Structure 1
Amino acid sequence: MSRLSHPLAQVAGALALTLGWVLVFFGGAALPVVPTYEQLGVVLTVGVSGVAVLGASFLLAWGAETAEKDVPRAFAIAVLAVLAVAPEYAVDALYAWNAGAGGATTAACGDLSTAAVQAGETELARACHDANLAVANMTGANRILIGIGWAGIAVFTVYRAAKTQDAAVRDREGWLADAVTLDRDIATEITFLFMATVWAFLVPLGGGIDILDTLVLVGIYVLYIGIIIRGDVEATEDQVGVPHYFQQWSLPWRPLVVLGLFAYSGVMIFTAVEPFAHGLETIGLNNGIPEFFMIQWIAPLASESPELIVVVVLVNKARSTAGFNALISSKLNQWTLLIGTLSVVFSLAYGQYGVLPFDSKQAAEIWITAAQSYFALAILVDFEISVREAISIFALFISQVILEFLLIREAIALPVDSEELLLVYTAVYVVIGTALFVKRRAALREMIGLAADAGRTAIGRDPVHTEFAD
């Protein structure tokens, strides 16, 4: 083994990618010769912070893979997912806080016109606008995760299979029929995501995100964590490179390394992604792209980048099952914790209990996001996703984004406005998803049965759905 290929050299290389950001973020204020990232300018800030996110993503992936030796794989991946999307929480929390601090109650915002809110004519109008942005950023992030993340990784996994020899990829006859098969252990994640998705359809009916949404959605995630943390530590897959090296370390050094990798990568991602996303927003705004569009799509795309990088790393190591587990776990925590905590942040800023308000456009955004999740789960319910299915997920996602952008820019004329367009796509997702669930009802029963068995095992009872055992 050459020195450059030694695992510690690879770790050093990933750390080196983050050093520029460490210097400008932590050293800029203390060392006169080092500029702060605000002094670098937008383009350089995007470059330095983006490279740091890349390096931190490698460290995060290695930490999660190393941890699988000591904790259930699903739990290690759940931790990875939370750390990878932490910046998304920070961005959304900022908008929710500003909304609460500005007194953006449901009643107060209801008295303002749409034009006044969008223009931010007063402090209250700006607060109401921030409340809408919190929802827009959250729904954009969730739709990107499925429309680009799930779809893109499925196609990439099949594409790379010729080189990686990934056993999860199945060659099938037919047009774009090659598929990625998923481990049935992922039934727990899919079932809990299904529960959260069903509840999400009800959120707009309450006129805002309230304490009931918080209790239900956070409760779903807590129950999920309670089940997977009690799972057995699986026989570790044959690791290579950095994770294999660290897994040979003895206790207590191995878990300390894992904690160190998680902590350092988490700090890097949390501090670097916001300036990275904000820099991209600024570049977009300077080129005439609407603020709302930038915050809903470009900022979440930047904040989701660590997770997508991590999954690409896993796929390149023929660990597509772990990669999809990470994507689904991320979707679950964003679809539960992210939505559920927005009203808490809003209430803290408001100084008393309050409901995070949103307008009818954001209600439609929540419905289409829930519908997309419903459709995607109908595809995964049989524990596989083909290239054809992945392309359909992406096609529906990107066509809606493009059409809405063109409508906002008044570049095309359609018989519906942007809000009605969202409702049309919502109906399409629900109709196709329902048809798939009906067709795959046996797979749906199997998925729920496997998840129920995982819950029974977590409380020390024997599984009952032995007919679903592999």
Structure 2
Amino acid sequence: MRSVRERLAAVVAHAPAATAASPASAAWTFPLMIFAAFVVAWGAEAAEFLMSQGLALAALALIQTLPEFAVEAVIAWKAGKDPGMVHLAIANFTGSLRLLTGLGWPMIYAVAAFYSHRRHGRKLGEIQLHDEHAVEVLGLLPPLAWFVVVWAKSSLSLWDAAFLTLTYVVYLWVLLKLPSREEPLEEEEEIPRVSRWALSHRGWRKWAAVGGLLAAGGAIIYFVAEPFLASMMALAATFGISQFVFIQWVAPFLSEFPEKTSAFAWARRVTRAPVALMNMVSSNINQWGVLSALLAVIYSWSRGEPSSLPFDQFQRLEILLTILQAFLGWIFLASMTLQAYEATGLFVLWLVQFAVPSLRGEMLWLYGAWIVVELFLVALGKKRIPAFACFRRVWAQRKTGLRTSP
């Protein structure tokens, strides 16, 4: 990934080397990225029969976001050398998270709703999560709550990084304790052929086939990420996209491209839309936890001493906006559904801040007001939050054997 670091550094520094890559290389990097996304998705779907679905999705999310981690590491390293670059590190981090929640979640609903109507002639009122998905929903809360502390003290320290990493380790430990799915029946057409092929083996060969799919897809993502991002950077330069917009929106969108591809492929099958949504939520969790910790570690490493990444007023505004958006999304998912009006609301609020950045302050009030309304409905008993009860039920049943939910 060395050359992608150099090219991204050139973009950040306004160097001409950023345009050295040819936009034409997108003709082969783009299809390869799509192929890699499908390979890791097939591997993850097969892995559900060897481990819990949540653990498979967590591994998948980490593989899929390798390019995003590489991009963020580059910017954090440069921020350690040049304090003027700190705002770009925060821009990339917050932009990535807001894209996942404000664009990714609603698009999953939109894709599932479209194919539900097209294939079954039914209107999709909501995406209904399964009990086991309460682990992902509740796993989003600890790092999100801790980031309120990070925002309040206007810095991200190594102590914060340690705690955020711990929340992710605990999340993985919980997932590790959950059972896998039952073996698929031959007549189950929902299981892709490649996943079924991997599961047709016995013993260690089955693990090797599933691991091979994940490893192969991850390797393609790793090696193609550099020319893919470089070609997209060249395209961005060709269209005159500004530095801040590129770092906050374009770079995260491109680096998360494998994840969006596999999630939308699942959403097309409608019945797998909850899995697609949890794929995105798993990425939210690893970015709030591991990616933010990486920021603090790389920043300190670059400076050659333990250091806290400081936030100015504008960066605090960006972080608070991201926290409020995430908490609103969490309240929606805590009901174990994502309804049409909720997905639409998340998308519209994201679109407004993307199209009119000067309205960030107003967006804070809108997110805050909606959160208050949702909490008021919960207090009145008009809205239920069954995620905690679902988690207790799943945790109590973890020793009973294999799960059967899709």
Q: What TM-score do you get using the length of structure 1 for normalisation?
A: 0.75
2:34 is equivalent to residue 59 of structure 1: no
2:144 is equivalent to residue 197 of structure 1: yes
Looking at structure 1, the residues matched to 54 and 374 of structure 2 have their Cα atoms a distance apart, in angstroms, of 27
1:430: which partner in 2? 368
Contact 1:374 1:430 in 2 (8 A): no
1:391: which partner in 2? 344
3-state SS of paired residue (2:57): helix
Contact 2:55 2:172 in 1 (8 A): yes
Looking at structure 2, the residues matched to 164 and 250 of structure 1 have their Cα atoms a distance apart, in angstroms, of 35
Residues 278-293 of structure 1: matches in 2 within 5 Å? 278-293=230-245
AA aligned to 1:437 is L
2:180 is equivalent to residue 180 of structure 1: no
User: Where do 5+ consecutive residues of structure 1 fail to align?
Assistant: 1-24, 26-37, 103-126, 173-177, 405-417, 462-470
Residues 128 and 213 (structure 1), Cα distance of their counterparts in 2 relative to 1, 3 Å cut: same
2:287 is equivalent to residue 334 of structure 1: yes
Match of 1:446 among 363, 366, 386: 386
1:387 Cα offset (Å): 2.2
1:289 Cα offset (Å): 2.3
Residues 170-249 of structure 1: matches in 2 within 5 Å? 171=123, 178-236=125-183, 238=188, 239-249=191-201
2:225 is equivalent to residue 273 of structure 1: yes
Looking at structure 1, the residues matched to 372 and 135 of structure 2 have their Cα atoms a distance apart, in angstroms, of 20
AA aligned to 1:217 is L
2:85: which partner in 1? 130
Counting matched residue pairs gives 377
Residues 312 and 65 (structure 1), Cα distance of their counterparts in 2 relative to 1, 3 Å cut: same
**1:117-138, Cα deviation, whole Å (9 max, x unpaired):** xxxxxxxxxx223322111111
Residues 165 and 71 (structure 1), Cα distance of their counterparts in 2 relative to 1, 3 Å cut: farther
1:455 Cα offset (Å): 5.4
Looking at structure 1, the residues matched to 118 and 376 of structure 2 have their Cα atoms a distance apart, in angstroms, of 37
2:274 is equivalent to residue 321 of structure 1: yes
Looking at structure 2, the residues matched to 248 and 268 of structure 1 have their Cα atoms a distance apart, in angstroms, of 24
AA aligned to 1:189 is E
2:99: which partner in 1? 144
Q: What TM-score do you get using the length of structure 2 for normalisation?
A: 0.86
Looking at structure 2, the residues matched to 341 and 189 of structure 1 have their Cα atoms a distance apart, in angstroms, of 21
Contact 2:131 2:394 in 1 (8 A): no
Residues 40 and 204 (structure 1), Cα distance of their counterparts in 2 relative to 1, 3 Å cut: closer
Contact 1:278 1:299 in 2 (8 A): no
3-state SS of paired residue (1:201): helix
Residues 290 and 279 (structure 1), Cα distance of their counterparts in 2 relative to 1, 3 Å cut: same
2:65: which partner in 1? 85
1:194 Cα offset (Å): 2.1
1:76 Cα offset (Å): 0.6
2:404: which partner in 1? none
1:162 Cα offset (Å): 3.5
Aligned residues: percent identity?
Answer: 26
1:432 Cα offset (Å): 0.3
2:328 is equivalent to residue 375 of structure 1: yes
3-state SS of paired residue (2:228): helix
Contact 1:68 1:76 in 2 (8 A): yes
Contact 1:164 1:316 in 2 (8 A): no
1:39 Cα offset (Å): 11
Greater RCO, CA 8 A, separation 6+: 2
3-state SS of paired residue (2:305): coil
1:208 Cα offset (Å): 1.8
User: Where do 5+ consecutive residues of structure 2 fail to align?
Assistant: 5-17, 401-406
2:230 is equivalent to residue 299 of structure 1: no
2:261: which partner in 1? 309
Looking at structure 1, the residues matched to 291 and 183 of structure 2 have their Cα atoms a distance apart, in angstroms, of 31
AA aligned to 2:113 is V
Residues 7-26 of structure 1: matches in 2 within 5 Å? none
Looking at structure 1, the residues matched to 119 and 144 of structure 2 have their Cα atoms a distance apart, in angstroms, of 34
**1:164-213, Cα deviation, whole Å (9 max, x unpaired):** 559xxx847xxxxx222111221121112122222222212222211232
Deviating more after overlay: 226-235 vs 381-390 = 381-390
Looking at structure 2, the residues matched to 363 and 422 of structure 1 have their Cα atoms a distance apart, in angstroms, of 12
2:112: which partner in 1? 157
1:7: which partner in 2? none
1:345: which partner in 2? 298
AA aligned to 1:268 is I
**1:375-398, Cα deviation, whole Å (9 max, x unpaired):** 111222211122222111111001
1:454 Cα offset (Å): 4.8
1:42 Cα offset (Å): 2.1
Looking at structure 2, the residues matched to 454 and 202 of structure 1 have their Cα atoms a distance apart, in angstroms, of 30
Looking at structure 2, the residues matched to 320 and 221 of structure 1 have their Cα atoms a distance apart, in angstroms, of 24
Deviating more after overlay: 305-314 vs 352-361 = 352-361
Contact 2:39 2:217 in 1 (8 A): yes
Return the index of the structure with the highest Cα Rg: 1
